[in-house]
């Protein structure tokens, strides 16, 4: 990993840690209603590509060459940051991640938002309760996310102070489930 990229990740982590992504947006609960234009008959990759609120994630999935992975049978649980969530990441850091030379680092960031298997909001709430107020989720990036409930909202915490609130739960996908978040989660880089 380049020193420039490492500095960009540190800068992004600092911005997130200072609360750039910590705005709490009320959760829509465990609604199974799909986001506008998304369909439970589409794969995660297809729904990200047609979602009006996930255009940055779409660019990242394409740049990381993960379309085929997120089109595979899975099932997967994806904590999907919105465009608004990505806007809290410094533009220079995001642009650097999207460069072909940083493909592996971008893949790691995206894989950090994905858990193998289908974890519904009900399942996640049960895991949090069973864990005494928090649940550890193993991502396909090889690192864990921490899920808690605060003010009735499910919070997902990553490394370096990164976090997001689930703003829309249980968006059905043909190969899993998507939980829309208002924050970008960062793994150890």
Please report which confidence band the pLDDT of residue 184 belongs to, taking 50, 70 and 90 as the band edges: very high
Count Cβ neighbours within 10 Å for each residue of 150-184 and write b for 16 or more, e otherwise.
eeebbbbbbbbbbbbbbbbbbbbbbbbbbbbbbbb
Question: Do 174 and 34 touch, CB atoms closer than 8 A?
Answer: no
pLDDT at 16 over 50: no
The confidence score (pLDDT) of residue 17 equals 32
**pTM of the model as a whole:** 0.79
Tell me if 6 sits within 8 A of 189, measured CB to CB. yes
Q: What are phi and psi of 58, to 5 degrees?
A: -60, -50
Q: Which residue has the tokens 């808690």?
A: 148
Q: Work out the average pLDDT over 39-43.
A: 80
| Over residues 112-141, mean pLDDT | 95
Q: What is the pLDDT of residue 76?
A: 93
The label of the residue with tokens 């193998």 reads 116
Least confident range of 6-10, 48-52, 85-89: 6-10
Assigned fold of 3-181: FAS1 domain (2.30.180)
Measured between alpha carbons, how far is 20 from 3 in angstroms, rounded to an integer?
Answer: 24
Distance CA 182, CA 83 (A): 9
Domain ranges in the chain are 3-181
When pLDDT is cut at 50, 70 and 90, the band that residue 129 belongs to is very high
Contact indicator for 55, 83 with CB cutoff of 8 Å:
yes
Q: Per-residue pLDDT tens for 152-178?
A: 999 999 998 999 999 999 988 889 899
pLDDT of residue 35 exceeding 70, the answer is no
How far is Cα 5 from Cα 81, in angstroms, rounded to an integer? 21
| Residue of 41 and 27 predicted with greater confidence | 41
Three-state DSSP class for 187? coil
Residues 68-88: what's their mean pLDDT? 91
DSSP-derived 3-state class of residue 2: coil
| pLDDT exceeds 80 at position 130 | yes
Alpha-carbon gap, residue 108 to 188, rounded angstroms:
9
């Amino acid at each position: 990993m380049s020193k420039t990229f490492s500095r960009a990740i540190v800068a992004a982590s600092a911005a997130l840690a200072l609360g750039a992504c910590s705005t709490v947006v009320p959760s829509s609960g465990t609604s199974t209603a799909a986001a506008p234009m998304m369909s439970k008959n589409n794969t995660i990759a297809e729904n990200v590509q047609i979602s009006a609120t996930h255009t940055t994630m779409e660019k990242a999935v394409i740049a990381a060459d993960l379309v085929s992975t997120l089109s595979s049978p899975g099932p997967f649980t994806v904590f999907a940051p919105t465009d608004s969530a990505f806007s809290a990441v410094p533009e220079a850091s995001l642009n650097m991640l999207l460069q072909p030379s940083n493909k592996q680092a971008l893949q790691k960031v995206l894989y950090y938002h994905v858990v193998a298997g289908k974890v519904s909001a009900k399942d996640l709430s049960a895991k949090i309760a069973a864990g005494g107020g928090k649940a550890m989720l193993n991502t396909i990036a090889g690192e864990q996310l921490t899920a808690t409930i605060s003010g009735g909202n499910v919070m997902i915490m990553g490394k370096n102070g990164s976090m997001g609130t689930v703003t829309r739960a249980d968006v059905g996908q043909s190969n899993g489930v998507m939980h829309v978040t208002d924050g970008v989660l960062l793994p150890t880089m």
